[in-house]
């Protein structure tokens, strides 16, 4: 056993729990102690309630560990997911102490699998941009990323083994890269969005952050939809067949904002690519389609327009919203309905076109972020490619593989075609193993 439970990943913790080497209560106490010690500085948690935890533990202790895959595992939930026993405040004082009275579908799935919902992690205002509270555990003066920063910091600082987040542009990938953890954004829609704050209908994607590659499939299996009612999920995930000795065809993609990346990050990425074992990885560089450059503008139009629709009441109040949120809504109000509909059509067409364009590759690799975390909690990020993959609905994993010029983490982003999630996770786990668990 490792010297401290909080250093374990989810897979190891579940092994200890099911072997009765440690109880769910002991595990929860270890993480609560870590939170008590670290969170007064890092501010990754929005809400924790001991009575709610005790009620869950009493129920978990009555369940059969053999039939509950996440039995006793503590999990953090971003504060834009509904929880029936905790407030859901969405990073805004306008919704302080709001209690939705129900669980988001994903939270329900996790509890059904035996997980302990330990508490709610911080989010940027309405899961968009503005946050001035949560700190990066590697350097308190640097950004932890937005908007799933609370979840990324909680995992990176050993305050929780797994935490859920959401991504409408780069809100899982960037915090994962800046904080040095795995960040997984699945194929659009395979984690149900019922009971989660809606910001942009065709972009909002749920996902999670972990300490290891092997935890990703474990948590995906417990939180995604299953069955014939979900046609593509049934065909591509429910009936997926693994090929253990598969050699992965890897495409290296230097996206439209690649020129903005720091030269040390680019050198570290190239060194990472050069070390990939040719026995398991066939690597070639590909040229991105010219249409990829248009995605930034189309994404922005859809994003701003839908935010101006869903948050029109908050906007009317004129107070208690940040200047950047006010600016986004003002911009969205200028967009006509026809322009919005045309953008949705372009999104559908480009999603199909890019699926076909990347058909000959198993996985693409690029930098997750352009550099280490920027100094300042509200400093704008250097543009990267995260929103492209969100726009196209393609699954991504940020692998904590690189270090920047100050020794701080930078992620490598692995991308697969829609519904190739299991193939992607197998490739990421193979990369981790090939690097001797050093990533």
pLDDT at 436 over 60: no
Residue range 135-152: average pLDDT? 96
Kindly indicate the confidence band of residue 1, based on its pLDDT and cuts at 50, 70 and 90.
very low
Percent of the chain clearing pLDDT 90 (strictly above): 94
Distance in angstroms (rounded) separating the CA atoms of residues 344 and 144: 31
pLDDT at 41 over 90: yes
Give me the count of residues in the chain. Answer: 439
The catalytic site residues sit at 78, 147, 171
| pLDDT tens digits, one per residue of 364-378 | 999 999 999 999 998
| pLDDT tens digits, one per residue of 78-105 | 999 999 999 999 999 999 999 999 999 9
| pLDDT tens digits, one per residue of 272-315 | 999 999 999 999 999 999 999 999 999 999 999 999 999 999 99
Kindly indicate the confidence band of residue 168, based on its pLDDT and cuts at 50, 70 and 90.
very high
Who's near 150: CB < 8 A, 6+ residues apart?
43, 44, 45, 46, 76, 78, 79, 121, 122, 123, 134, 163
User: Which of 83, 88, 21 has its CA nearest to residue 52?
Assistant: 83
Catalogue all structural domains in the chain, each as residue range(s) with its CATH number: 1-237 (3.90.1300.10), 248-286+342-437 (no CATH), 294-335 (no CATH)
Q: Phi/psi of residue 397, each to 5°?
A: -130, 125
Predicted pLDDT at 320: 85
Residue range 63-77: average pLDDT? 98
């Amino acid at each position: 056993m490792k010297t401290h439970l909080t250093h374990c990943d989810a897979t190891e913790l579940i092994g200890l729990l099911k072997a009765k080497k440690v109880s769910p209560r002991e595990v929860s106490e270890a993480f609560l102690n870590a939170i008590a010690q670290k969170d007064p500085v890092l501010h990754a948690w929005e809400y924790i309630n001991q009575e709610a935890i005790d009620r869950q533990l009493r129920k978990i202790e009555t369940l059969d560990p053999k039939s509950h895959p996440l039995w006793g595992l503590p999990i953090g939930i971003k504060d834009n997911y509904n929880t029936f026993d905790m407030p859901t405040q969405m990073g805004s004082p306008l919704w302080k102490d709001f209690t939705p009275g129900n669980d988001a579908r994903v939270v329900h799935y996790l509890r059904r699998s035996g997980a302990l919902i330990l508490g709610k992690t911080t989010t940027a205002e309405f899961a968009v941009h503005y946050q001035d509270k949560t700190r990066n555990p590697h350097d308190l003066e640097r950004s932890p990323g937005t908007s799933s920063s609370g979840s990324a910091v909680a995992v990176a600082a050993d305050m929780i083994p797994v935490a859920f987040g959401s991504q409408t542009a780069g809100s899982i990938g960037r915090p994962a890269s800046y904080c040095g953890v795995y960040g997984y954004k699945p194929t659009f829609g395979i984690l149900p969005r019922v009971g989660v704050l809606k910001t942009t209908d065709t972009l909002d994607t749920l996902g999670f952050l972990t300490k290891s590659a092997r935890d990703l499939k474990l948590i995906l299996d417990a939180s995604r939809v299953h069955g014939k009612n979900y046609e593509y999920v049934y065909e591509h995930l429910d009936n997926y067949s693994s090929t253990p000795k598969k050699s992965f065809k890897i495409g290296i993609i230097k996206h439209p904002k690649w020129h903005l990346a720091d030269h040390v990050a680019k050198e570290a990425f190239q060194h990472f690519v050069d070390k990939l074992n040719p026995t398991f990885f066939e690597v070639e560089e590909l040229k991105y389609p010219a249409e990829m450059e248009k995605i930034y503008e189309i994404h922005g139009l859809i994003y701003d327009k839908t935010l101006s629709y869903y948050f029109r009441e908050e906007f009317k109040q004129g107070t208690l919203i940040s200047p950047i949120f006010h600016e986004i809504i003002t911009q969205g109000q200028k967009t006509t309905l026809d322009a919005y509909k045309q953008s949705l059509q372009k999104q559908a067409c480009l999603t199909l076109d890019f699926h076909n364009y990347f058909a000959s590759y198993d996985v693409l690799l690029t930098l997750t972020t352009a550099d280490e975390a920027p100094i300042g909690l509200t400093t704008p990020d250097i543009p990267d490619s995260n929103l492209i993959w969100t726009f196209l609905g393609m699954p991504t994993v940020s692998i904590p593989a690189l270090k920047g010029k100050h020794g701080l983490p930078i992620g490598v982003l692995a991308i697969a075609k829609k519904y190739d999630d299991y193939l992607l996770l197998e490739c990421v786990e193979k990369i981790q193993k090939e690097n001797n668990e050093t990533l």
